[in-house]
A = this chain, B = another copy of it.
Amino acid sequence: MARINKISGFPEWLPEQKLVEDRVIAKVRKVYESFGFTPIETPAVEALTTLSSKGVIDKEIYAVRRLQGESEEGELGLHFDLTVPLARYVAQHNHALVFPFKRYQLQKVWRGDRPQKGRFREFYQFDIDIIGREELPVSADAEILAVIDRAILAMELGPHVVRINSRKILQGFYSGLGLDEESTRAAITVVDKIDKIGAEGVKNELLKIRLVTNDIAGRIVASAQLKFPPSEIHARIAALGIENSELISGAEELTAILELIPEATRARCLVDFSLARGLAYYTGIICEIGLTGYPEFGTIASGGRYDNLASQFTDQKLPGVGLSIGLTRLMDLVFSANLIPVTAKSPTELVVSVYVETDRKRCNEIADELRELGMPTEVYLKSPKIGKQIEYAESKGARYVLFYDAGTGVIKIKDLKSKEQVEVTSLREWFASRAL
């Protein structure tokens, strides 16, 4: 007999957990679609040349090969994010798409990382992006912030905070301090680590960068510790004491974006000059969302603005803005911290019990009536003692059990929550008037 070895890093939910995940997915999807975003799906695999053309560490990639038989069309690998597939998709189907192209995408991605707590090798990402052709106004940035805030709210995981920054502000500030392009880039990478290595650690690393003096390092670290509401942007920028056009235009752009989002969303935003994100391709706003109650958990969604999505595939300039929800990692938190109660083991709301097998046909018809009304209904598949059937209903998470008496034709429904039982003459009336 084959032993079953759990494959580390490949999470698998129990039915009651999967039901919760599906409900969360449905809520996010509904929000994305309410803004007119369209779903796309790409194959799990891409050509290895596609996956590696953005300078990604090859080590993370899972290669896919036919176990036997030669590979005819180049090497394939499982995608490690949904951004590379999006770039390839947009470049490939360019003429069939309407721009600005607003898409969302929920798919598994795979990374051959060494598994560790909170790190998975297979996990869902739930991405949303707007891709423009040649240009994309800042109204798109505002829309992405509005839709992601709405999506996170819809998940009902408790309060969240939207940390936001602008690559332009960072670049303008550092350049205004006297750093050149290379030193600026190095400084951004260092500042991004402030949550991990602390202010002192950042300062020490900054001092190793060419052109960074003690004074400059101090000013950068001080700025990186600021977290303030959008209304303070101008005052905070002025307090940096730097004259730089990129800094000014970055601040104006960020202000304009935050002006366009709903008041309630803006109230959840915190400008954070330490936010930089490692990925080289962000060029405008940068955003990270976390749950207020779980600061140590880190980011549940992140993203930003990029100037050019698919430069490796097309000459056309495709600027975009988008965010990604790390869904599997988030569900792992949901389950371990019990953020959403995991209760029912099935969608079943009502179980029709069966006294004797000769009643089954009629019981099936009753069940169909209830399904038609919109109530997920099971008919018990055997006809043992009623107690056992009630037990089954309870273990499935069903709220009601229905009893049908073939002799009298009487239907009774028991509410397992209130323990009350009623005689039902019209299923439709019972359904409409049942306690919820």
**Residues on A facing B (Cβ under 8 Å):** 1-2, 4-8, 10-15, 18-19, 22, 33-50, 53, 58-59, 61-69, 73-74, 76-78, 88-89, 91-93, 96-98, 100, 102-103, 108, 110, 112, 122, 130, 132, 136-137, 139-140, 142-143, 146, 259-262, 312-315, 345-348, 351, 357, 360-361, 364-365, 368, 371, 375-379, 381-382, 392, 395-396, 398
Contact = CB atoms under 8 A, between A and B. Distances in A.
A38 B103 contact: no
Nearest to A53: B2
B364 A146 contact: yes
Contacts of A63: 64-67
B7 A76 contact: yes
Contacts of A68: 58-59
Nearest to A394: B98
A76 B7 CA distance: 9
B69 A35 contact: no
Contacts of A40: 13, 15, 18
A314 B2 CA distance: 8
B44 A5 contact: no
B41 A379 contact: no
A373 to B, nearest CB: 10
Contacts of A312: 1-2
B18 A39 contact: yes
A73 B89 CA distance: 34
How many chain copies does the complex carry? 2
Contacts of A5: 47, 73-74
B392 A139 contact: no
A213 B48 CA distance: 57
A1 to B, nearest CB: 6
Contacts of A357: 139
A260 B53 CA distance: 58
- Complex A-B, nearest 5 residue pairs according to Cβ-Cβ distance, in ascending order: A36-B348, A66-B112, A36-B378, A10-B43, A33-B347
Given A63-B66, A66-B62, A4 B313 contact: yes
A346 B38 contact: yes
Contact of A98 (B59, B97, B345): B345
Given A68-B59, A122-B44, A379-B143, A98 B396 contact: yes
A364 to B, nearest CB: 6
A230 B332 CA distance: 49
A66 B65 CA distance: 11
B379 A139 contact: yes
B98 A392 contact: yes
Nearest to A147: B371
A4 B50 contact: yes
A6 B76 CA distance: 12
B377 A34 contact: yes
Contacts of A43: 7, 10-12, 122
B98 A313 contact: no
A29 to B, nearest CB: 9
A248 to B, nearest CB: 20
Contacts of A37: 346-347
Given A2-B50, A15-B38, 5 more contacts: A2-B312, A19-B39, A34-B376, A44-B110, A45-B122
A33 B5 CA distance: 31
Contact of A35 (B41, B73, B371): B371
Interface centre among A34, A48, A59 (most CB of B within 10 A): A34
A38 B16 CA distance: 8
Contacts of A108: 44
A172 to B, nearest CB: 24
A195 B105 CA distance: 40
Nearest to A375: B34
A59 B64 contact: no
Contact of A97 (B2, B15, B65): B15
A151 to B, nearest CB: 12
Contacts of A64: 62-64, 78, 110
Contact of A102 (B143, B346, B395): B346
